[in-house]
Chains A and B, each alone.
Chain A
């Protein structure tokens, strides 16, 4: 029996069946993979936090190698001693603090009545306390984010940056080793005041030997991404300044 595929009723039935089949297929797939994907995201966060505080498996001079996913949970528990949630003047310990979605917190904080929750991770490496803060901002095309590790005087111990869709070869270079390593040693506090770190063009210091100027060398061709990164560091790290002032 030949089907008349031109009939309207056939077209409608076909469309309905197709949508049902495809819809349930994709819904089933998404549900089945959800735990795996969530776990991957959690591992990634742990890897990034550890990377910022200098726990990684870099070998060559250009490597960015995280702790492998099968060991990251154990290493995270070993190096991160405490996790805090800072909300206004309150500081609460919470071992799930790293799961806080700082994008959502920043959005909630826009209405003014909400005190945003700030996660802070206190790690210990080579006998020294290291504080890791998450940061998030805007690049040229989409979100950029990262983790900044500092000691208690807010001198940078290490950073990790990532992005959603910066231009490959230009803005996407913020996650390259040579760029991230430049931040180490820079200071957020100049005297007592919060200065931030500027991604600067023409600071005549391509190897970043001057660690007191609060500037790192910019990436050529990635002006907007660099400016976004500067703004992100100024805005998000500033939220923690009061906490650090109490430490000293």
Chain B
């Protein structure tokens, strides 16, 4: 990475694995379980969060010296809400079909704890460029988990990926279904997202023992 200094690239790369917002900090679990029943909404959600968190971090960082500390949480909330409304309106005007598919999910970005968490913990104390990298990095870390969970839930729950029947047709009994394979309906339900996230956490910590908390 010639473009970024070592410190800067750490800002992007760290949240992808060893400081992942979902698996290490356990933030943003609520949306991770709500929207990951299928792969496509997971990906669009990831992209939207990258936009909102990247831009939001820059805005907060630019305003960090003039925000009154007593109302800083409210100010942060207004920034997120504004960005989310802009995303929502732009989608409605220019990508109507997509916005219909995502209706509630876009609004859910406001409640994503990762965003407020990064504003409060990073953007308030760092410059705009660093904040931008941090925002994008954390959103990517969040997005990766979303996509992994969405992949397994759609594949095992519905036997499809992006709506394509990759495991054969369950009604016609082709391919895997012809030898007795069945879809696992549990995977479509929200609690299974937690179990998949749990498995990811387990795998991650068993590969990197430094991540295991003591006590």
Taking Cβ atoms with an 8 Å cutoff, the residues of A that contact B are 3, 5-6, 10-11, 14-15, 18-19, 22, 25-26, 29-30, 33, 36-37, 40, 43-44, 62, 164-165, 167-170, 178, 206-207, 220-221
Contact = CB atoms under 8 A, between A and B. Distances in A.
B38 A33 contact: no
A6 B68 contact: yes
Contact of A62 (B70, B71, B154, B163): B163
B157 A14 contact: no
Interface of B (DSSP majority class): helix
Interface string B98-115: 001001100000000000
Contact of A168 (B37, B74, B82, B92): B37
Given A11-B71, A22-B78, A29-B86, A36 B93 contact: yes
Given A37-B92, A221-B188, A26 B163 contact: no
A33 B66 CA distance: 32
Given A26-B85, A165-B103, A169-B188, A14 B67 contact: yes
Interface string B49-67: 0000000000000000111
B75 A18 contact: yes
A220 B185 contact: yes
Nearest to A61: B169
A164 B74 CA distance: 30
Contact of B68 (A5, A36, A40, A62): A5
A18 B78 contact: yes
A116 B100 CA distance: 28
The 9 closest A-B pairs by CB, nearest first: A169-B188, A11-B68, A40-B96, A36-B93, A33-B93, A168-B37, A169-B37, A5-B68, A37-B92
Nearest to B95: A40
Nearest to B157: A169
Contact of A169 (B90, B158, B171): B158
Interface residues of B, number: 33
Interface of A (DSSP majority class): helix
Nearest to A3: B66
Contacts, number: 76
Interface in B166-207: 171, 185, 188
Contact of A10 (B68, B85, B90, B94): B68
B158 to A, nearest CB: 6
29 contacts: A5-B65, A5-B66, A5-B68, A5-B69, A11-B68, A15-B68, A15-B71, A22-B78, A25-B82, A29-B86, A30-B89, A33-B90, A40-B96, A44-B96, A62-B163, A165-B104, A167-B37, A167-B188, A168-B35, A168-B37, A169-B37, A169-B38, A169-B154, A169-B158, A178-B171, A206-B171, A207-B171, A221-B185, A221-B188
Nearest to A178: B171
Contacts of A164: 103-104
B66 A170 contact: no
A5 B103 CA distance: 38
A225 B174 CA distance: 29
A5 B67 contact: yes
A18 B77 CA distance: 12
A26 to B, nearest CB: 6
A44 B98 CA distance: 13
B161 to A, nearest CB: 13
Given A11-B68, A36-B94, A168 B171 contact: no
A106 B70 CA distance: 47
B41 interface: yes
Contact of A6 (B35, B69, B74, B92): B69
A5 B89 CA distance: 33
A6 B171 CA distance: 67
Residue from the set A19, A40, A206 with the largest chain B CB neighbour count within 10 Å:
A40
Contact of B41 (A15, A29, A40, A168): A168
Given A11-B68, A26-B82, A165-B104, 14 more contacts: A3-B66, A6-B68, A11-B71, A14-B66, A15-B74, A26-B86, A29-B89, A36-B94, A37-B89, A37-B93, A37-B96, A43-B96, A165-B103, A168-B38
A169 B67 CA distance: 44
Contacts of A26: 82, 85-86
